[in-house]
Amino acid sequence: METLLANLALGFSVAFSLENLTFALLGAFIGTAIGVLPGIGPVATISLLLPITFGMSPTTAIIMLAGIYYGAQYGGSTTAILLNLPGEVSSVVTVIEGYKMARNGRAGAALATAALGSFFAGSVATVVVAASGPLLTSIALSFGPADYFSLMFLGLIISAVLAQGSIVKGIGMVVLGVGLGLVGTDVQTGQQRFTFGVPELSDGVDFVAIAMGMFGIAEIILNLERPESRNVLTNKVGSLYLTREEFRRAVPSVLRGTLLGTVIGILPGGGASLSSFGSYMIERKVSKYRHLFGTGAIEGVAGPEAANNAAAQASFIPLLTLGIPANAVMALMVGALIIQGIQPGPRMVEAQPDLFWGLICSMWVGNLMLLIINLPMIGMWVKLLEVPYRHLYPAIMIFCAIGMYSINNNVFDVYLMVLFGLFGYLCSKVKLEGAPLLIGFVLGPMMEEHLRRAMLLSRGDVMVFVERPISASMLAISAIALLAMMLPNLRAGKEKAMAEGG
Amino acid sequence: MKINQKDLLAGLILMAFAVAGLWLNMDHTLGNARRMGPGYMPMLAFGLLLALSIAVVALSTISGPEKLERWAWRELFLILAAICVFALILEKAGMILTLVVSISIASLADRTHKPLGVLGLIAFLVALCYLVFIQWLDIRIPVWPTYFGY
């Protein structure tokens, strides 16, 4: 307990330095903005801003990037409530009840519920990260190479199982990502693999090019072909204060959402969007006011919004303790850390206490900032919604291009980004998901290293993966997850949840 | 036949990557399970991908019917062209001229753009990029054309 307090004190001293406060605010601000704007999400934005972070200290960089991710969860709800359009994937279900509330003249109350629920969830998740971090780290330190391999395998399986659409296609994209990650110089023998003699590829495919191409550029083209019908129907936000009755109804939903979001966030492959779907389904089943769903029930806003913010923050747990990204945003964080010369993993807590505790404390500070950014300043975000997409996409495109060029001062990377933009567009036309590919890409090289080491230690005996208890249980869970999704009942349930959400 | 065209094409794309990967991997030493060579992991990954892609193709015969959507060729071409032109001329023409050309091409992708609006947008973005990338971040990028200068 005392060490926890000492650690938190360290964290707050880091988080409250002027530089970190400024960049946490900047991150929260940018996050809210892109959350509010439909058509640009956290993955594209974070990859867009990665080049900017190279000059910062690693702690400041991660604090800002994290702010963008959870800031987007706040901003997304504004658009959902006022525009009947999700600003982010994670606020898709908020649209259903939130917009109805706005039509009933309770837009302000819906916004306040979303922001306060998110703040509560964010605070709880921060404590969970702080408490579980060191605990999980100490367990992780006893992991051998075989255990690591199986853990990553589990992460990949779950991220494919939970991805939208077909599982086989999801796993296919994961494996393709692993394959792409193998491009470049083989670490152990120095042999060039799949580089076609191109010197730029000897360090591997730049993952910023993949992320910007598939999530930034491809997204622009997809948005352009779907002409937008954006009209703010609710210019009147109304009172931000909740009535006593509304408050009383929202509290249990927020609590349930927070719990669910924290649990799903920790799972590999889980993340903000899945947890808000889940929370909506639960609220509709267990809420005392479930008969009011469809008419603007506050539970349908409070639960999912709390859940997505809790999940956004809890998904930092596997990253910070095991070095394993739970979703595409976390895959970008791994990239950001590696560029800064930090290998994410269980040793990070000891080697980089400033970063670990500073990030945790900054999350709480950031949530407080977001509350202020989102509630009293709501008018500004409504104004932002009036910026048409035609003025937005050239800016996104140009920032991608300059940012990509500036990473290595090489136009090759820009062409690579174009290639992945084309590929991303193709993928979305045939319903192949980009997120599993990105996670596979980041995990692929790590898996190869651990696999080689494990097999070397076991003298080529594959049984090592089932003989070690940790590894064996990971593989068992993977198998159960796969089998469970093959069951027609469960799969129908997942598809139903996704269909109702989308 | 209830063929799912999207799944079929998705499977074929994955299969193309798997076959290309396995073929290119023939140059690499496989090694054995105990001492894996550079070709071992690619063999596992692309082999698994090949199996999965066959499964996707097979499933496409029962998961349909679903037709491929139309492609937005015009938007696709213009946006990708705008970035390619950016990459092509940046180092010679400098950032400002490149931005003007590139944004002009990109603006054609949305038919609701008006000439005056595009001009304003270009002016705004050039100023913004100058402030962010040159003044603040100080990235190494030529601002003005260097072709005749040096």
Q: What is the pLDDT of residues B20-33, one digit of tens each?
A: 999 998 888 888 88
pLDDT above 70 covers a percentage of chain A that reads 93
Is B39 a member of any domain? yes
pLDDT surpassing 70 at residue A221: yes
The conformational region for residue A345 under phi > 0 = left, psi -120 to 50 = alpha, else beta, is: left
Place of tokens 């594959």: A462
- A428/A56 Cα distance (integer angstroms): 34
Which of the residues B36, B108, B125, B143 would you substitute to probe the A interface, choosing the one with the greatest number of A C-beta atoms within 10 Å?
B36
pLDDT surpassing 50 at residue B139: yes
Go through chain A and tell me how many residues it has: 502
- B22/B49 Cα distance (integer angstroms): 10
3-state secondary structure A206-224: CHHHHHHHHHHHHHHHHHH
Q: Which residues of A touch B38 (CB under 8 A)?
A: 186, 188-189, 191, 193
- A346/B27 Cα distance (integer angstroms): 36
Give the pLDDT band (50/70/90) at residue B12.
very high
Is B147 a member of any domain? no
Between A and B, how many residue pairs show a Cβ–Cβ distance under 8 A? Answer: 187
Structure tokens at A100: 């109805």
- A318/A470 Cα distance (integer angstroms): 16
CA-based Rg of chain B, rounded to a whole angstrom?
Answer: 24
Domain count, chain B: 2
Q: Kindly give, in sequence order, each residue whose CB lies less than 8 Å from that of residue A131, ignoring residues fewer than 6 positions away.
A: A4
pTM (predicted TM-score): 0.84
* Cα dihedral A118→A119→A125→A126 (10° resolution): 150
Structure tokens at A269: 């492959």
Say if the Cβ atoms of B42 and A193 lie within 8 Å.
yes
Say if the Cβ atoms of A414 and B87 lie within 8 Å.
yes
- A394/A169 Cα distance (integer angstroms): 32
pLDDT surpassing 70 at residue A491: no
Structure tokens at A181: 């990650």
Q: Are residues B77 and B130 in the same domain?
A: yes
Q: Are residues B50 and B80 in the same domain?
A: no
Shortest CA distance to A28 belongs to which of A394, A297, A373? Answer: A373
Say if the Cβ atoms of B28 and A193 lie within 8 Å.
yes
Q: Are residues B36 and B12 in the same domain?
A: yes
Element (H, E) at A124: helix A107-140
Residue of A nearest to B70 (CA): A429
Q: Which of B35, B46, B72 sits opposite A221 (nearest CB)?
A: B72
Q: Are residues B49 and B92 in the same domain?
A: no
Place of tokens 């950032």: B95
Of A462 and B95, more confident: B95
Say if the Cβ atoms of B86 and A401 lie within 8 Å.
yes
Say if the Cβ atoms of B38 and A217 lie within 8 Å.
no
Shortest CA distance to A8 belongs to which of A366, A367, A363, A368? Answer: A363
pLDDT score of A500: 47
Q: Helix or strand or coil: residue A87? A: coil
Is B106 a member of any domain? yes
Share in percent of chain B as helix, strand, coil (round to 5): 65, 5, 30
CA-to-CA dists, residue B11 to A428, B59, B108, angstroms: 13, 9, 34
Q: What is the pLDDT of residues A431-448, one digit of tens each?
A: 888 888 988 888 888 888
Residue A291 CB: number of other CB atoms within 10 A?
A: 9
Is B13 a member of any domain? yes
The residue ranges of every structural domain in chain A are 2-501
Is B150 a member of any domain? no
- A462/A344 Cα distance (integer angstroms): 27
ipTM score: 0.92
Say if the Cβ atoms of A395 and B125 lie within 8 Å.
yes
Q: Kindly give, in sequence order, each residue whose CB lies less than 8 Å from that of residue A85, ignoring residues fewer than 6 positions away.
A: A38, A79, A95, A230
Q: What is the pLDDT of residues A237-254, one digit of tens each?
A: 777 788 888 888 888 999
- A226/A85 Cα distance (integer angstroms): 14
Range with lowest mean pLDDT among A221-235, A320-334, A384-398, A465-479: A221-235
Q: Are residues B83 and B40 in the same domain?
A: no
pLDDT surpassing 90 at residue A414: yes
- A31/A116 Cα distance (integer angstroms): 17
Is B83 a member of any domain? yes
- A316/A332 Cα distance (integer angstroms): 12
Say if the Cβ atoms of A166 and B59 lie within 8 Å.
yes
DSSP A159-224: HHHHSSS-HHHHHHHHHHHHHHHT-EE-TTT--EES-TT-GGGGG---HHHHHIIIIIIHHHHHHH
Mean pLDDT, chain A, whole residue set: 84
Q: Which of B48, B52, B106 sits opposite A397 (nearest CB)?
A: B106
Is B18 a member of any domain? yes
Strand partners for B66: B4
Structure tokens at A196: 């076609």
Q: Are residues B54 and B83 in the same domain?
A: no
Cβ proximity of A277 and A86 under 8 Å: no
User: What is the extent of the structural domain holding B55?
Assistant: 5-59
Is B9 a member of any domain? yes
Cβ proximity of A356 and A134 under 8 Å: no
Cβ proximity of A430 and A242 under 8 Å: no
Q: What is the pLDDT of residues A152-182, one digit of tens each?
A: 888 888 777 776 677 888 889 989 999 999 9
